[in-house]
Structure 1
Amino acid sequence: MAAAWHSVLRCALVCGAFIIGIHSHELQHRRSASGQLPARSSSSASVGGGGAVRTSGRSILEASAVAASTDSAAEARCPALSRDLLQSVAKQNTVMLAVANEKQWDFTLNWLEHLQAAEISYAVVAAADVLTSQRLAALGQACFEHIDDEIPKLGLTWGEEGWRRMTWAKVFVLDMVADWGFDIVVSDVDVVWFKDPTPLFTEHPNADLLFGEDGTQSLNEAGDAGLEVTSSPFHDFNTGVYLMRHGNRTTAWVHAWRQFFAKCTNHDQHCAYDLMRDEPGDGRDANDPRLHTGWKGQLWMGVMPPSIFMNAHTHYLQQLHKVKQVEPYAVHLTWTYNGAAGKRARLRDMGLWFDPPNYYSSGSFVTVDLDLPEKPPGYNDWNENEDMVTFYLETIHAQLQQAYVGMALAVASKRAFVLPTLQCYCEKLWYEVVRCRVVDAQAMPFPVPCPQDYLFDPAHYADNPVRHGTPMDIRESSFLDNERTPQEVKESLLIIQPSAALQCTDCVKEEPGEGGIMLLMVPPALPDAQLLPLLEPYSSYRVWRFSFAGVGSTQRAYGGFSDAAAAQAFDQRMEWMTTDFCCRREEEAPRYHKTDAIVVKLNMTSEFKYSAMSNAVTAQR
């Protein structure tokens, strides 16, 4: 069963085009009733990009803000696709192609920021809707319109026909330009480029297609920056990042792939697998032996290892580029959870998301010093999956309880909460773990830093307060290490330490802390109504770092909310924003009496919750 879930869910949620317009990620096995091919050209009229705001000398985010404030932003649109347009931006006869829509706009800006930082100047974006067309034109970004008006009518939920057509959008664009003589780099907009990939065309002169690997393992030796040593059409390659050299072979392949849309009822990547693996042959290039024949033996294809064309797993968890001692070209935000919000959070975790300046400079913050678990001897060599899962759940719940205390103080003091670096001793997958890892990353050592999307649904941090309780203002664990966070924030730091040594409820004690940071000792277990007045003289400190070192238990550190309704609303949010751990192995579950706990809802309050404490106090009055 694990293999089946792996195949279905990985293709559904990891592979293929990046579609932010999808709000449901549940598996649905609905098939399209339509086999017709979308039209080759945009159905909407287009005009030139007059009045564009150039990005030279400023960041993409700054330019976007300026563009949004100009009258011309609502008038200018991307022009029609033409060979001259591509020629105007091509570098060494190469263009980078991407498709973007309104739902992806913040990802598109982030993608453009990283292109600018990497000095990649040959990107052209296909605008999939009018608003995106206007925004791109106002930025002065090379673009054209490719609008399929039928997509919204056909459904955007995973598995519906509109969703399928969205995944094929890059293929349709590629089909239109394949005969124009350009080498092409195809990129989704949930990709971060670190350096220009055009040298790969020179390094592999016989390659027709070079794909990114969709998995989490490379068998290349350390220092080997070449193609994946086991490269073949039967690799799970990814169609979100790849290079295509112009030529008769690739032109024929692209046209065949587009025509396959009418016959293959799946998303573009799955259908690319079917096509590439159709009588692929067994040839190896004499001069570049990691190139393999594919598609009836008619072209040469290769796969870049996930240490070089990375994903969120190999970059953030394994840091495979460091393990393999190679420089990555890009990271593609696959292997993340909870949709677009999860991708955005993971990019923030990695320090690769560009937020506006006030995200880093405005307001004040609370964070906590975690009392971290000690790794059991030999943990990384354990073979009993259930023992590892049990240890992970115990330790992550203890850490979440500590974060819960810090979040409560942040809410009470009207500050944002900076997540601590929580430690994960197990992975989260869409299917069962093996030794707490994905099956092809068994060498990954624990602990790893927990990504936000392992523990929380970031879309639930602040949505619908009436229904889901107190909204949270959350910053990622890397926030105080981010170069974009001002030094004046990082250096304005106060350590707050509840201490049982204080024999009072209305006093504090200042002591010099490590590195010259002030340590403020406060009485333990005070609720907000008593603690906040004591902290008021220290409100000018931008960062309050809460320490548990002076008390015997997490619960003794802070008493929470004096108001029962506030405590209830806070706990409601805590329950709403946590996500699930997945998954125990079904074949093991009966032996451990865990058949009802294959998937486990994570819990911020495994030891105590403030709403229960407030209710108890109210009942005693």
Structure 2
Amino acid sequence: RLITMAPSTEFTQERLLALAPQKQLVISFTNRVRIDFARTWAFHARAAGVAAFLIGATDRHALSELQHMEIPCFSMATNLPQGEWPWGSPSFKSLGPHKIELIYKTISWGFELVITDIDALVLREPFAHMSRWPDAAFLTTSDHLGNTTADDGLETHNAIHSAFNIGYMFFRKSALPLVTEWRRVIAEQPRSRWDQGEFNRIARLGWNPRRTSGLSDPRLFWSYKSSLIGGVLSISLFCGGHNYFVSQFPQRLGMTPYSIHTTFQYGAAAGKRHRLREARVWIDPPEYYDPPEGLLVFPIDVPESLVYPKGGMTTRGHIALINHQMRQIRSGLALAHVLGRKLVLPSVICGYDKAWYPLSSAPTSRGAFGGARGFILPIRNCPVDHFLEIGMLSPTQTLREYSFLSNPRTPAAVLSSRATTKLELEKGAAETERLAKDLGSFKVLNVTNLHTVDVVNSGLLSTIQRIAFTTKMRHAGGGWC
């Protein structure tokens, strides 16, 4: 009888050489509660033609799940919590030494490495792009919020003083002096020192951005005691959450990003998932795209006078704009609840951005996140976490993202099974019975006058239905001010 050996889960030089004889490797890591992120990450790495990639598992359950999905993986054998790692928490910071050790070993063994967080998707094969700068020891993504170039090259020196984001980075062996120091500093206080903060500090130690001699590209810079070369990857191609979902640089420039990283968002893990669904890059099970109960859609009403009020947008104007759209979404959720359908959220327009602190008050960028450009306002296709706590809505059970009907994974049979109708208020509660009985077989129900109706208080719902809906949504909320 033929006995097959289980694939290795070690992280050794021998295994990496067998996996990546070309010595180019992409790595990420996950725990048990982010396994669905790992599934999506691996799907795109394969689709992009990445020749060699691995996902590290920080716990046994994650390792077992990765093996079950036949995703190349390795055991990181950590003692990290198996739940969420809240940003800035000791468990969040404790991941740093493990990540740095992976970088240190991989480049010590002579590999070129792209390492990403599990919520930083690899959408295009990266190494051909990185090869354009053969003298770069590292290339990093950035939290800079204003692109300094419209081409596909590196960001200029106008962007290199903003925080480097280590959620997607490229390293060569020539980065070892910097990585060795980074490794040493984090090991001294592994639960309190933040790996990203320390990388930013160390990379800028004794650096000399004004020195351009010896650089293959003047957008590169001399880093870490002027001993090695670094660069900042295009924020339009290697996108953080603000640059992709709010400033929308790739969309404006007609570029296809290499990566989308769900930073700068407000809904924790549920918000990250929903944003990636909005971008049509999240991978759900097939049944998500064909819910048996069907879908409800409606055309949202957004008057130009609210989007562009006289005298310009103000805080009150922004609140009025969001409230106007939220009332319509509430009606949509109520009708979808009664009919048992999933509401496809409409595309929402936000007058102002959202931040953890006061927005910009500068004349040219009033209402934008500090450091972002004023031209991003108003924000069309505004991310839902800018105005709703998506996790409170149980999204997979209640709704679908605004881009759902244009997602290539939504079956043609769903898109072609469509009915259009108007609500007849004079029929009262019998109207919802008509919709269910006469139009229930259609996958997509478009109610063209829903935006004009307060479904909850119009008499369309019975008392029992109204109580059931308000009870279901009693914890739903959000903030847009």
Q: TM-score, normalised on structure 1? A: 0.70
Give the distance between the partners of 1:146 and 1:321, measured in 2 at CA.
35
Distance 1:86 1:558, change over 3 A: farther
| Contact 1:427–1:437 (8 Å) recurs in 2 | yes
The offset of 1:389, in angstroms, is 2.1
1:548 matched to 2:449? The reply is: yes
The partner residue of 1:576 within 462, 475, 478 is 475
1:303 matched to 2:235? The reply is: no
Identity of aligned residues (%): 26
The residue aligned with 1:518 is none
| Bigger CA radius of gyration | 1
The partner residue of 2:75 within 145, 166, 174 is 145
CA deviations 1:32-71 (Å, max 9, x no partner) are xxxxxxxxxxxxxxxxxx969xxxxxxxxxxxxxxxxxxx
Aligned residues: 468
| Contact 2:421–2:446 (8 Å) recurs in 1 | yes
CA deviations 1:530-587 (Å, max 9, x no partner) are 53146412211111111228x96546995342124x42342244342221124xxxxx
The residue aligned with 2:368 is 437
The offset of 1:402, in angstroms, is 1.1
SS at match of 1:165: helix
CA deviations 1:458-511 (Å, max 9, x no partner) are 221239xxxxxxx9521111111111111221121122213xxxxxxxxxxxxx
1:408 matched to 2:338? The reply is: no
The partner residue of 2:205 within 261, 264, 278 is 278
The residue aligned with 2:420 is 495
1:561 matched to 2:461? The reply is: yes
* Letter matched to residue 460 of structure 1: M
Distance 1:534 1:443, change over 3 A: closer
Give the distance between the partners of 1:547 and 1:174, measured in 2 at CA.
54
The residue aligned with 1:269 is 196
Give the distance between the partners of 1:319 and 1:200, measured in 2 at CA.
21
The partner residue of 1:346 within 275, 284, 287 is 275
**Over aligned residue pairs, what C-alpha RMSD do you find?**
2.8
Distance 1:437 1:193, change over 3 A: same
The residue aligned with 2:408 is 483
| Contact 1:280–1:295 (8 Å) recurs in 2 | yes
CA deviations 1:258-299 (Å, max 9, x no partner) are 111144633210111121122223422443111111111121
Give the distance between the partners of 1:454 and 1:302, measured in 2 at CA.
31
| Contact 1:212–1:241 (8 Å) recurs in 2 | yes
CA deviations 1:166-187 (Å, max 9, x no partner) are 2443112222333111111111
Distance 1:370 1:160, change over 3 A: closer
| Contact 1:232–1:301 (8 Å) recurs in 2 | no
Give the distance between the partners of 1:51 and 1:350, measured in 2 at CA.
40
| Contact 1:77–1:134 (8 Å) recurs in 2 | no
The offset of 1:136, in angstroms, is 2.4
CA deviations 1:384-413 (Å, max 9, x no partner) are xxx422112112111111111121111111
The residue aligned with 2:363 is none
CA deviations 1:188-226 (Å, max 9, x no partner) are 111222211101332101111100122221111x3x211
1:191 matched to 2:120? The reply is: yes
Give the distance between the partners of 2:165 and 2:327, measured in 1 at CA.
38
| Contact 1:405–1:560 (8 Å) recurs in 2 | no
The residue aligned with 2:154 is 227
Give the distance between the partners of 1:301 and 1:461, measured in 2 at CA.
43
Question: How is 1:14-29 mapped onto 2 (pairs within 5 angstroms)?
Answer: none
| Contact 2:59–2:76 (8 Å) recurs in 1 | yes
Q: Which ranges in structure 2 are unaligned for 5 or more consecutive residues?
A: 361-365
Distance 1:137 1:78, change over 3 A: farther
Q: TM-score, normalised on structure 2? A: 0.89
| Contact 2:215–2:221 (8 Å) recurs in 1 | no
| Contact 2:30–2:58 (8 Å) recurs in 1 | yes
The offset of 1:98, in angstroms, is 1.2
The offset of 1:137, in angstroms, is 2.7
Distance 1:557 1:374, change over 3 A: farther
Distance 1:171 1:379, change over 3 A: farther
The residue aligned with 2:33 is 103
Distance 1:358 1:227, change over 3 A: same
Give the distance between the partners of 2:432 and 2:69, measured in 1 at CA.
49
The partner residue of 2:298 within 355, 368, 373 is 368
